[in-house]
Every structure is written in structure tokens, then in C-alpha cells.
């Protein structure tokens, strides 16, 4: 088995897999302890992202603002099984992406921040936590898919959405969507930028429909589209380079900005 220090020279996901393999033979004080520590630290980074990685986070969100229940909740971007599904082709950049690429995508867009070195301890530990949730899953396992449930697109009404936000959402998210100690900001400088997945109507609507209000998802499909349209109509940070997304011209219909291939 490789020593924990030797794993620093491996790509993050390979290092995690090597540790998992080695832990089958390691003494309790070596490999297993190192793996447990890596997973615990990775979980801490993902739960308290802004506090733990302030140089890479440009808003008040944390990874578990969207990946609910520490990445375990179905229909809320779960991380269960996610490491088994990467590398995978992603149409947004028309290339094969690793799990590290996907994590950095979130840091740059959802966290409105900057990428983390893919060979860093921080990246390795976050992947380790995700890998720990993925034990026993395969790329063919769809029960814990990281995609949101598909919804039939409905014509939204932002006026209805604004009213619904004031009666249902602002207690947790603030009267101006600025966020509170209970829930993250939904627009403004403290929220995700326009390049994030949640800035897309269908993505936001599905997340809201299946998860909000938190712990009591009672909105109808139409209400989810209405409040999602209102939230996504509000101002938020730009994402420089967004025009390069979907270079093959296959952008989804709800992308809120023009691209070079879809002007």
C-alpha cells in the first residue's frame, strides 16, 4: 500500500481510490485513519465552504446550499454515486470532464469564485468525501442520479412568483433575497452568478418543486415555475466567458444568456 504522503503525487480521484484499496489491508493507525481524516475534512470543506476556502468563494453560499443533507438527499443534486459517473461528456464545454472539473465548475459559477488546484489536498479531500458516499454504486445506478427530475415546462408569471416569494420564501431567504442565517442568498452579489445551473429556469423550478419550502415541499409545478422565474429575473453577478458555453450550438432553451453558437 502507498503511504498517505505518496498519494499527494496522484490525481485526486486516483489517490482516493488508492486509499480505499489500501485500507482493505492497512493497520487501523495508517491507511484507514488517513482515509477517515480525508473524508471528514472533505465533508467540512463542503459544509462550510466560504469559511474554509474563502479565497475560492465569492458569495455567501456553501456547497450544501444546493446539495442538501450533505449531498445525500435524492432530487437535490446528491453526491451519492457521483464519482462513479465521472469522467463524463458535458455539452456545456463539449468535452470530457473529470469529477475535479465538475467541482471547479461549481466553484466558478455557483460559488461565484475561483477554481481549486486539482492536485491539492482540498480537492482530494472533497473527492474523498464524495467517494465515501459512492461506495457500492456504479455508473449504471440511476437511483441517486445527480440530475434533478425533469419537469414539463410551464409558462411562468413573475408577478405571481413575487407574491409567492413574499408569503413562502422570504422568511428564510430574506425580503430582498439577500439570505439569512437559515438559508442562502438567491440574488444579488452574495448569490450564484448567471453562469450557474440555478440561473436556468427549469433547473431552479425543479429544485424548488422537489425541495422547497425546506422539509415541506408543497408547491405545485406552476408555483415552482413562477417563483423560479421571479428569482432568476433578479440581478446577480455576471460570469465572464459565458458566451463560450455550449460551443456546438446545443444550449438548452432556458439558458438566460446568448452564446457564440446560440446568439
Is pLDDT of 238 > 50? Answer: yes
DSSP element (H, E) containing 90: strand 88-90
What's the pLDDT tens digit per position in 133-187?
988 776 566 544 567 899 999 999 999 999 999 999 999 999 999 999 999 999 9
Predicted pLDDT of residue 216: 92
CA distances from 206 to 65, 79, 91, 125, 249 (A): 15, 17, 20, 30, 24
Domain ranges of the chain: 4-133, 158-233
- Average pLDDT on 230-253 reads 98
Predicted pLDDT of residue 20: 55
DSSP result, 96-131: EE-HHHHHHHHHHTTSSS----TTSHHHHHHHHHHH
Predicted pLDDT of residue 143: 46
Calpha distance 71→93 (Å, rounded):
24
211 Cβ contact partners less than 8 Å away, ≥ 6 residues apart: 68, 73, 75, 76, 217
Look up residue 85 and give its three cell numbers. Answer: 459517473
Is pLDDT of 5 > 50? Answer: no
Predicted pLDDT of residue 26: 47
What's the pLDDT tens digit per position in 36-49?
999 999 999 999 99
Is pLDDT of 62 > 60? Answer: yes
Predicted pLDDT of residue 145: 57
Predicted pLDDT of residue 16: 59
Would you state the CATH architecture of domain 4-133?
Orthogonal Bundle (1.10)
The CATH number assigned to the domain with range 158-233 reads 1.10.760.10
The residue count of the chain comes to: 263
Predicted pLDDT of residue 24: 47
Phi, psi of 243 (to 5 degrees): -65, -15
Do the domains 158-233 and 4-133 match in fold? yes
What's the pLDDT tens digit per position in 209-224?
999 999 899 999 999 9
Predicted pLDDT of residue 154: 98
- Average pLDDT on 24-35 reads 61
Amino acid at each position: 500500500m502507498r503511504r498517505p504522503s505518496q498519494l499527494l503525487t496522484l490525481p485526486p480521484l486516483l489517490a482516493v481510490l488508492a486509499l480505499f484499496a489500501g485500507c482493505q489491508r492497512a493497520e487501523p493507525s495508517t491507511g484507514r485513519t488517513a482515509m477517515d481524516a480525508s473524508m471528514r475534512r472533505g465533508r467540512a470543506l463542503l459544509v462550510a465552504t466560504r469559511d474554509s476556502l474563502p479565497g475560492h468563494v465569492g458569495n455567501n453560499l456553501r456547497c450544501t446550499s444546493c446539495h442538501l443533507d450533505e449531498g445525500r438527499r435524492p432530487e437535490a443534486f446528491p453526491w451519492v454515486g457521483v464519482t462513479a459517473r465521472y469522467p463524463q461528456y458535458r455539452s456545456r464545454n463539449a468535452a470530457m470532464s473529470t469529477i475535479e472539473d465538475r467541482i471547479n465548475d461549481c466553484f466558478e459559477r455557483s460559488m461565484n469564485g475561483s477554481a481549486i488546484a486539482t492536485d491539492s489536498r482540498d480537492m482530494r479531500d472533497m473527492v474523498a468525501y464524495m467517494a465515501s458516499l459512492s461506495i457500492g454504486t456504479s455508473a449504471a445506478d440511476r437511483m441517486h442520479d445527480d440530475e434533478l427530475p425533469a419537469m414539463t415546462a410551464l409558462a411562468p408569471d413573475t408577478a405571481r412568483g413575487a407574491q409567492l416569494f413574499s408569503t413562502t420564501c422570504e422568511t428564510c431567504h430574506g425580503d430582498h433575497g439577500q439570505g439569512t442565517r437559515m438559508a442562502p442568498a438567491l440574488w444579488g452579489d452574495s448569490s450564484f452568478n448567471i453562469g450557474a445551473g440555478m440561473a436556468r429556469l427549469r433547473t431552479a423550478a425543479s429544485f424548488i418543486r422537489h425541495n422547497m419550502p425546506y422539509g415541506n415541499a408543497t408547491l405545485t409545478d406552476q408555483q415552482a415555475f413562477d417563483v423560479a422565474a421571479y428569482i432568476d429575473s433578479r440581478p446577480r453577478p455576471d460570469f465572464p466567458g459565458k458566451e463560450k458555453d455550449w460551443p456546438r450550438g446545443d444550449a438548452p432553451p432556458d439558458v438566460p444568456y446568448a452564446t457564440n453558437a446560440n446568439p
